[in-house]
């Protein structure tokens, strides 16, 4: 690891986390370019599965579709986890939704507000994006490891977003009118991620899907899908049992798993693009 980044002393609670996998090792930095990038370097250097990288600030935080993630100091949670799935069946979308559920649950218990999920990676409160997930897979012959990155807008002010040109973004503090303790939130997040990861390993995606039913804010939105030379628009029906998105075009319901999708949502007041792919229609 380059000496460009200096490690911070860990908060005491991180030494005694009652987790099985998440936080097997924790690397805490004052500032980095991107915690996903540092996690990738550490994974290449042999860091174990479950290792977590956190930073107080990112200079080049990465978002979906090559965009950035606004990561000023002192107000957010920027965290990446190294995962080494044994099976490629553990899809990027399933892990992205696992992280979204854990994040939404933490936000709910810290704010008392209902948090929702927009397929595949947005966590929203009152129809505004409060957190995002970025899963990056690294392959050799087969999958080597995944980096699961989570960014949460915790104590950002409205002015911060306005000056950056993100009028539709929100933070937990904006929605509640009070600051939230980031250390407590980070602890809670690691516990929830560990909890859901254990269930996912043991029982697959179905238990998570059950939880998602209650949080899914995708239905009703209008999406544009581009995949394998095909392009269509339709109504997003919701997240299915395998983590795919179901889209209705006329009488046909299509299953979207990878490729490119633009989710248009008037209430979010922005267009969000992500990777996706279409498979053949099924009987929904
Ligand atoms: C999105 O565009 O919604 C995904 C945002 C993901 C941001 C997080 S912050 C921690 C981790 N490190 C990064 O560079 N990106 C992710």
Residue 64 Cβ contacting ligand 1 at under 6 Å: yes
Instruction: Tell me the pLDDT tens digit for each residue of 35-90.
Output: 999 999 999 999 999 999 999 999 999 998 889 999 999 999 999 999 998 776 55
Which of 215, 246, 265 terminates a domain? The answer is 215
Residue 85 Cβ contacting ligand 1 at under 6 Å: no
Handedness of CA 194, 116, 77, 58 (dihedral sign): positive
Residue 257 Cβ contacting ligand 1 at under 6 Å: no
Task: Using alpha carbons only, give the angle 81, 258, 169 rounded to the nearest 5 degrees.
Answer: 60
> The CATH number of the domain where 84 resides is what?
3.30.930.10
103 belongs to a structural domain: yes
What pLDDT is attached to residue 276? 38
In which residue are the tokens 């960014």 written? 151
Residue 272 Cβ contacting ligand 1 at under 6 Å: no
Radius of gyration, CA atoms only, the chain: 18
Which of 193, 215, 237 terminates a domain? The answer is 215
**CA of 46 relative to ligand 1 center, distance in Å:** 22
Query: Which residue minimizes the CA distance to atom 16 of ligand 1?
Result: 149
What pLDDT is attached to residue 231? 86
Residue 34 Cβ contacting ligand 1 at under 6 Å: yes
pTM for the structure as a whole: 0.88
Instruction: Tell me the pLDDT tens digit for each residue of 102-153.
Output: 999 999 999 999 999 988 789 999 989 999 999 998 887 777 899 999 999 9
Q: Rounded to an integer, what distance in angstroms lies between the CA atom of residue 117 and that of residue 96? A: 11
Residues 75 and 194 in one domain: yes
Query: Which residue minimizes the CA distance to atom 9 of ligand 1?
Result: 151
Residues 61 and 174 in one domain: yes
Distance of CA 279 to the CA centre of its chain: 23
284 belongs to a structural domain: no
Number of H helices, E strands in the chain: 6, 14
Which of 192, 215, 238 terminates a domain? The answer is 215
């Amino acid at each position: 690891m380059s000496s460009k980044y200096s490690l911070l002393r860990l908060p005491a609670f991180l030494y005694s986390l009652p987790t099985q996998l998440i936080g097997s090792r924790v690397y805490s930095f004052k500032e980095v370019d991107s915690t996903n990038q540092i996690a990738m370097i550490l994974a290449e250097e042999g860091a174990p599965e479950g290792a977590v990288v956190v930073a107080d600030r990112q200079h080049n935080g990465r978002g979906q579709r090559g965009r950035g993630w606004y990561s000023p100091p002192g107000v957010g949670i920027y965290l990446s986890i190294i995962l080494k799935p044994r099976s490629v069946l553990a899809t990027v979308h399933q892990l992205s939704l696992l992280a979204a559920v854990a994040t939404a649950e933490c936000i709910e218990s810290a704010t008392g507000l209902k948090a929702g999920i927009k397929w595949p990676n947005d966590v929203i409160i009152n129809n505004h994006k409060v957190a995002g997930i970025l899963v990056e897979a690294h392959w050799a012959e087969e999958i080597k490891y995944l980096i699961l990155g989570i960014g949460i807008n915790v104590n950002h002010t409205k002015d911060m977003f306005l000056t950056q040109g993100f009028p539709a973004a929100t933070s937990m503090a904006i929605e509640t009118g009070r600051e939230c303790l980031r250390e407590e939130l980070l602890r809670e997040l690691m516990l929830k991620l560990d909890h859901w990861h254990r269930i996912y390993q043991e029982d697959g995606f179905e238990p998570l899907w059950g939880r998602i039913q209650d949080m899914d804010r995708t239905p009703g939105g209008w999406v544009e899908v581009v995949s394998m030379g095909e392009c269509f628009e339709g109504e997003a029906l919701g997240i299915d049992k395998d983590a795919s998105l179901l889209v209705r075009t006329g009488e046909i319901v299509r299953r979207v798993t990878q490729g490119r999708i633009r989710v248009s949502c008037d209430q979010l007041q922005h267009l969000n693009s992500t990777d996706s792919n279409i498979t053949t229609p099924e009987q929904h």
